[in-house]
Structure 1
Amino acid sequence: DVPSGYIESFAKIDNGNVESIRFQNVPSFVQSLDATIDIPEIGSVQYDLAFGGAYYAIVNVDQVKLKCTEQYHDALIDKGMRIKHAIMNSVEIKHPIEPEMNFLYGTIFTDLAQDSTNHSRNVCIFADGELDRSPTGTGVSARAAIHYKRNEIKLGESITIESILGSTFSVKIDRAIEYGKYNAIIPQVTGGAYITGINTFFINPDDPLKDGFIFNKELI
């Protein structure tokens, strides 16, 4: 159960070792293709707007004269946030089912893959200026919806997308569905996951706050 809905995840195991993880994502769809917006200090930017668990503006990185590589990370964040705020201030975003999703989460810059066996590379600038080290699961889902809408990939077809660090996610279109007013897809995302630490919490019966506390009653 995640903020965008319910997903199922699976592990591929070989000889007791997890080789990869995949998850079936929420309905993903395109709100608009080839939209344009004028942004001070950048100029006219063409973008696609799509949902893959969150809303993203997808922009070819050539438009901002950068590359999706490590040396440009600061500039990518700057341009990504400028684009995000400009679109947020001028475009209505309305999810057909989940009103809490009615906001633009980030900008995804796309680029040519550095490994010729992969489809492409992208960098997601999200939230308040974070840069995702991964290809972004919700982001590649949104991109799959765009490529399907453009008839660039078919049902059952998988593409592999690189991150800024060269790590990859594969995304496959599992099926097409109707979702509100949209023709949507159910994408399946595959990647790697690794344990980096273990944490242990203790509850002391004498702790007066052992059951926790909350000030924002709207969260209850």
Structure 2
Amino acid sequence: MLKQQKIDVVDMHTAGEPLRIVTRGYPEVLGETILAKRRYARDTLDHLRQFLMFEPRGHFDMYGAVLVEPSHPEAHFGVLFIHNEGYSTMCGHAVIALGRYAVDHGLVAATSPVTQVRIECPCGLVVACVDVKDGIAGAVSFRSVPAFLHSKDVVVDVKGLGELAVDVAYGGAFYGLAPASAFGLDVQKSSSRDLVDAANAVSDAVRAAVRLHHPDDADLAFLYGTLLTDGNDAYSPDATANICVFADSQVDRSPTGSGVTARLAAQAARGLIAKGQTRRFESLISTCFEGTYFEDARCGQHDAIIAQVAGKAHYSGTATFWREQDDPVGNGFLLR
């Protein structure tokens, strides 16, 4: 049996959302900066993304991480995030998993009670704090890049619905924010198919109406997806829920770390949460992250915040993937 393209991985999940971490077999990703590496992977190594994310090894909603040499002087390592469509700029559930993975696998020396893991993401440096007890990594929190409300109450024309006022916020990636109730839907009770269709309609409408800009780099200025929320944006001790639909109709099983960050930025800009307050954010499968409006910041011309998001990741297994030379679908395929 002739094995080609052999790649080793560790599989984890954070609040139900998968993360496939490449541990061996991926070629060097070239580039002077993390965004240059992202472009290189997209333009040169995209067949490996499909190999790892698509069937028969993955599935439509698979998510992955490729560790790379950092360009930021303070980072322990860099990471590229991969999914069904391409390469995202930030991923909170992946950062939570990578924080635990880095401690467990010796990428960063473990110190009790908390080990700091500094990860260069395409959006910038993200600092994860890993709880460590008796040398064992547990829950993880992270503080991301400055997050801000980009566009407030933008009226967009949503196919099948009509005019709808939405927010657009940045939490390491840009998201549309809209209440699921505008479509007669419930984040945790309605069918995922209906929620995906509604979220995609909002994303299409935002892309048609809103010109995005990020002061750090033009590569960050794209709409990653839409979060449909339960509308409970004012601070409360009760949880608030959302579903994130991103990339090519991909559904996040977790509350979405960068999405929680974006929601906190929008809530802070509207005066709905105070600095230092913490909220619980639930996913469509009722798993939970905690999000805190940690401190104020600036991002170019935008008033911004630093958000802290906390959760826990678990291991699912390990695997070695390869492709046989005569396998007609071995490079990967997707079914919707």
Q: TM-score under structure 2 normalisation?
A: 0.56
Whole-angstrom CA distance in 2 between matches of 1:157 and 1:98: 30
Provide the C-alpha distance between the structure 2 equivalents of 1:87 and 1:151, rounded to a whole number of angstroms.
24
The answer for the alignment partner of 2:100 in structure 1 is none
Taking the aligned partners of 1:14 and 1:76, their CA distance within structure 2 comes to 40
Q: Does structure 1 retain, via aligned residues, the 8 Å contact 2:199–2:227? A: yes
Equivalent residue for 1:159, pick from 273, 276, 279: 279
Residue 118 of structure 1 deviates from its aligned partner by: 3.2
1:120-146 deviation per Cα after TM superposition (whole angstroms, max 9, x unaligned): 100001001011000000000000001
> Mapping of 1:100-115 within 5 angstroms?
100-111=219-230
Q: Per-residue deviation at 1:44?
A: 1.6
**1:77 maps onto 2:189 in alignment:** no
| 170-179 or 48-57, which deviates more | 170-179
Do structure 1's residue 50 and structure 2's residue 169 form an aligned pair?
Answer: yes
Change (3 A) 1:143 1:118: same
Q: Given residue 165 of structure 1, which amino acid in structure 2 is its aligned partner?
A: I
Please tell me whether the aligned partners of residues 118 and 162 of structure 1 are also in contact (alpha carbons under 8 angstroms): no
The letter of the residue matching 1:182 is H
Residue correspondence of structure 1 range 81-100 to structure 2 within 5 A: 81-100=200-219
Specify which of 159, 163, 188 is matched with residue 40 of structure 1. 159
Paired residue for 1:178, among 293, 298, 323?
298
The one-character-per-residue Cα deviations of 1:6-32 (angstroms, maximum 9, x if unpaired) are 101111234554441111111100012
Q: Supply the AA of the counterpart residue of 2:170.
A: F
How far does residue 36 in structure 1 lie from its aligned partner after superposition? 1.2
How far residue 192 of structure 1 moved from its aligned partner, in angstroms, is: 1.0
Q: One-letter code of the match for 1:96? A: P
3-state SS of paired residue (2:263): helix
Note the C-alpha offset of 1:158: 0.9
Which structure 2 residue ranges, 5 or more long, are not aligned?
1-119, 322-336
Counterpart residue number, 2:241 = 121
Query: Is the 1:28–1:53 contact (alpha carbons within 8 Å) kept by the matching residues of 2?
Result: yes
Q: Percent of counterpart pairs with the same letter?
A: 33
Give the drift of 1:48: 0.8
Structure 1 unaligned spans of 5+: 202-220
Letter in 1 for 2:173: A
Per-residue CA deviation, residues 34-59 of structure 1 (Å, 9 max, x unaligned), is 11112231122121110001000100
* 1:191 paired to 2:311: yes
In structure 2, what residue type is equivalent to 1:54?
A
Aligned Cα root-mean-square deviation (Å): 2.0
Distance 1:40 1:71, change over 3 A: closer
Number of residue pairs the alignment of both structures matches: 200
Summarize the Cα distance change of 1:2–1:70 in structure 2 as closer, same or farther, 3 Å threshold: farther
1:61 maps onto 2:180 in alignment: yes
Contact 1:70 1:165 in 2 (8 A): no
What is the letter of the counterpart of residue 7 of structure 1? V
Q: TM-score, normalised on structure 1?
A: 0.85
- Contact 2:159 2:205 survives alignment (8 Å): no
- Helix, strand or coil: the match of 2:216? coil
Whole-angstrom CA distance in 1 between matches of 2:261 and 2:185: 23
1:138 and 2:258 are equivalent in the alignment: yes
